[in-house]
Structures are given as C-alpha cells and as structure tokens.
C-alpha cells in the first residue's frame, strides 16, 4: 500500500481574472474553482486516476477540514486523517491573471499529542509499503519532523519517498529513502553550487545518492527530467508538446506516475515515462490530470 502524508492540507480557492490584478480597488472574477489538496493529497489523487490505491494521512481541522475530507472521499480517495480539536484547515487563494499570485493560509496548530496520533497510524505500515512525505513542514512543528518519522520506521522495510527542498531533503538522506525528487533548482541549493547542463546535474545527483538516496529523480520543467536509479543507471527524458496552464501539482503528479509505473512494471524507464506523462498532463490542465490525458501523453513520449 502507498501512504501519503500531508501535514498541512488546504483548500485552494482559485480565481481567474480577465485583466491584470489591481490592488486597492475591486476586481471582478471571470470564474472560480475550489481545489482540495496539498502535495501528498495531489499524489493520492493521481494515483487514484491510475487505478493505484493509496491512503492519505495528515491533519484536518474545523468545517473546512470536514469539507476537504468529504470532498476527497467523493473523489474516491481513501483518507485516515488526524482530526484536530481547534483551528481550521487552511484556505489558499490563487489568483490567475496572466501571472499567478498566491496567498497561502497558515493552517491550524498541531499539538504534540496529535503528532503522536499520526505516528501511531504510521506504526501500521509493513514491509514493502511506500510512505510519501511531501512538502514543507508547518512552522508549529519541529524542523526535524520528517527525520523523526523515518527514524521510527527504520528497519521495518518501509520504502520512503521524500519530495521536499533544502535541509528538509538533505537531512533525510541518512535514512536511505527509496526515492527523492528535487527539481534542478532545489538540487543546486542542496549541493551549494549552480548547476548547468546534464553533466553537472548528474554529478550532483550522484552526490545525494552517495549520501543515502537510492533513486534520485530530478525534474527540470520544460527540459524534462533525469533519473539516477539505484543501480547507477542514468535515464533522461524530454517533455511532450503542450501549453502550460497550471504549475500547481505537476511535480506531485510526476511523483505519483513514477511510483505507479514502477510498481506496475518494475522498470525505471517506464516509471520515468509515466511520471513525465502525469506531470505534463497536469501542467497542461486547469487542475490535476485526467487519465485520458495521461494515457495520450504517455504514448507520445
């Protein structure tokens, strides 16, 4: 089973304007959408599109949390959230007016007893299960939260996947994650130098592999992706043609497609191809990708 963890899920209120955003006055919306998500939840959403079950873990609070939970179940996702006694699940405002402007909520406080409830749920994970830790850590939690989660699961045979940036990602390498997915900017930040071209990106990926990562998947936006797999083999792929209309969730979609492709075939080449198709399909869509778009792009690659 695949388990995804989203420590600070959100309802994204997406507003589309036909003219540039004007501050200090009234702006009229041309359309709105409410998108239920967070990075781990996005991964679960694409896995569901691909017919691969998962369980979404994390924290919800208040009426917004209840709305998010009901909505995810209606979409066919299986959830097992910890319910917080106070606060409310955050609402993020995304304004699309030529450029994207975001106003992200802080989210509820997560007390230590709630974090312990999450740890207890993670105790159910068994050998060969996959745990996806995605996104930043809320300011109310310690910066080493991911490390503590992986430390408690060490030696259990659980395959961890971490999609985070900076020190969050660097500090979990000690626990030998099955997969990490930095983009090329995040990779450069971790190794502490600018990276130009595949040779330098591959060298940096090898450094992270030498520090503990089994597989390193580096996304490079319009330049495609590079995978350094656990055998030392290098896989490189471009992107299909299309118009990017949405950057939210594309990386999460790539991660979900990669996992689904690998679990289905055991082939890293196929995993990279399906991951790229999923990430591109979401980038070309207003929301998360639909299965039909994923299949179409997969056959183009």
Residue 128 falls in which region: left (phi positive, over 0), alpha (psi -120 to 50) or beta: left
Angle at 193 between CA 189 and CA 195, to 5 degrees: 90
Residue-wise pLDDT for 44-72, tens only, equals 999 999 999 999 999 999 999 999 999 99
What SS3 string covers the chain? Answer: CEEEEECCCEEEEEEECCCCCCCCCCCCCCEEEEEEECHHHHHHHHHHHCCCCEEEEEEEEHHHHHHHHHHHHHCCCEECCEEECCCCCEEEEEEEECEEEEECCCCCCCCHHHHHHHHHHHCCCCCCCEEEEECCCCCCCCCCHHHHHHHHHCCCCCEEEEECCHHHHHCCHHHCCCEECCEHHHHHHHHCCCCCHHHHHHHHHHHHHHCCCCEEEEECHHHCEEEECCCCCEEEECCCCCCCCCCCCHHHHHHHHHHHHHHHHCCHHHHHHHHHHHHHHHHCCCCCCCHHHHHHHHHHC
pLDDT at 216: 98
Q: How far apart are CA 156 and CA 127, in angstroms?
A: 6
Model confidence at 247: pLDDT above 80? no
Q: Which of 122-126, 134-138, 270-274 has the lowest mean pLDDT?
A: 134-138
Give 246 or 231, the one with higher predicted confidence. 231
Residue-wise pLDDT for 80-90, tens only, equals 999 999 999 99
Instruction: Produce one character per residue of 101-124: b if its CB has 16 or more CB atoms within 10 Å, e if not.
Output: eeeebebbebeeebbebbeebbee
Model confidence at 218, pLDDT cuts 50, 70, 90, reads very high
Residues marked active site are found at 252
Task: Give me 139's structure tokens.
Answer: 């300011």
Model confidence at 287, pLDDT cuts 50, 70, 90, reads confident
Q: How far apart are CA 237 and CA 239, in angstroms?
A: 7
> Which residues lie across from 101 on neighbouring strands?
95
Model confidence at 96: pLDDT above 90? no
End-to-end CA distance of the chain: 28
Q: How far apart are CA 222 and CA 85, in angstroms?
A: 43
**Mean pLDDT over each residue of the chain, to the nearest integer:** 95
pLDDT at 99: 85
Q: How far apart are CA 87 and CA 95, in angstroms?
A: 25
pLDDT (average), residues 242-264: 92
pLDDT at 135: 87
Q: What is the CATH number of domain 2-7+38-62+109-300?
A: 3.40.1190.20
Q: How far apart are CA 117 and CA 58, in angstroms?
A: 10
pLDDT at 78: 97
Residue-wise pLDDT for 132-176, tens only, equals 999 889 999 999 999 999 999 999 999 999 999 899 999 999 999
pLDDT (average), residues 263-279: 97
Instruction: Single out the residue of 3, 6, 13 nearest to residue 35, CA to CA.
Output: 13
Q: How many CB atoms lie within 10 A of CB 99?
A: 8
pLDDT (average), residues 96-110: 91
pLDDT at 156: 93
């Amino acid at each position: 089973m695949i388990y995804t963890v989203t420590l600070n899920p959100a309802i994204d209120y997406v507003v589309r304007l036909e003219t540039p955003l004007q501050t200090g006055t009234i702006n009229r919306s041309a359309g709105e959408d409410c998108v239920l998500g967070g990075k781990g939840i996005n991964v679960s959403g694409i896995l569901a599109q691909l017919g691969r079950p998962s369980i979404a873990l994390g924290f919800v609070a208040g009426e917004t949390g209840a709305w998010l939970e009901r909505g995810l179940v209606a979409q066919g996702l299986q959830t097992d959230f910890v319910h917080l006694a106070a606060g409310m699940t955050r609402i993020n405002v995304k304004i699309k007016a030529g450029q994207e402007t975001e106003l992200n909520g802080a989210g509820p406080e997560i007390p230590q007893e709630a974090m312990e409830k999450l740890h207890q749920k993670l105790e159910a994970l068994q050998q060969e299960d996959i745990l996806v830790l995605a996104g930043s850590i809320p300011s109310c939690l310690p910066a080493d939260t991911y490390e503590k989660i992986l430390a408690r699961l060490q030696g259990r045979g659980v395959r961890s996947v971490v999609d985070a940036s900076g020190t969050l990602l660097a500090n979990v390498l000690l626990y030998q994650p099955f997969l990490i997915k930095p983009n090329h900017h995040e990779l450069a930040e971790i190794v502490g130098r600018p990276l130009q071209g595949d040779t330098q990106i591959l060298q940096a990926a090898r450094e992270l592999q030498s520090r503990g990562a089994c597989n390193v998947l580096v996304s490079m936006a319009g330049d495609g992706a590079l995978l350094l797999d656990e055998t030392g083999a290098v896989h490189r792929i471009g992107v299909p043609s299309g118009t990017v209309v949405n950057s939210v969730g594309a990386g999460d979609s790539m991660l979900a497609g990669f996992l689904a492709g690998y679990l289905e075939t055991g082939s890293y080449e196929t995993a990279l191809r399906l991951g790229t198709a999923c990430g591109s399909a979401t980038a070309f869509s207003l929301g998360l990708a639909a299965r039909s778009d994923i299949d179409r792009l997969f056959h183009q690659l």
